[in-house]
Amino acid sequence: MTAAPRRRPQLISVEEAATILGVSKMSVYRRLQAGLLVGYRMGRNIIRVDADSVDRYLAGARIVPGREEW
């Protein structure tokens, strides 16, 4: 049995991630540093963010009525 082929991550810019999350670019860098988002260094000054990690981050931050944290 062979493993399913690995799909390539969809990469977005830090600016796009910041727009999606409604935060500053610096906040995206902080979340990358904390391991809350997945990033890739494409060059000395180029960082791209895995779009799926942004989706997972948003799903984890969702407010659910009735949950104790709320």
Task: List, for residues 20-29, the tens digit of each pLDDT value.
Answer: 999 999 999 9
pTM: 0.81
User: In this predicted model, which residue has the larger pLDDT, 4 or 8?
Assistant: 8
Q: Rounded mean pLDDT of the chain?
A: 91
Structure tokens at 32: 């990358």
pLDDT for 69: 62
pLDDT for 70: 55
Residue with tokens 């991630």: 17
CA angle (31, 35, 37) in 5-degree steps: 60
Mean pLDDT, to the nearest integer, of 19-42? 97
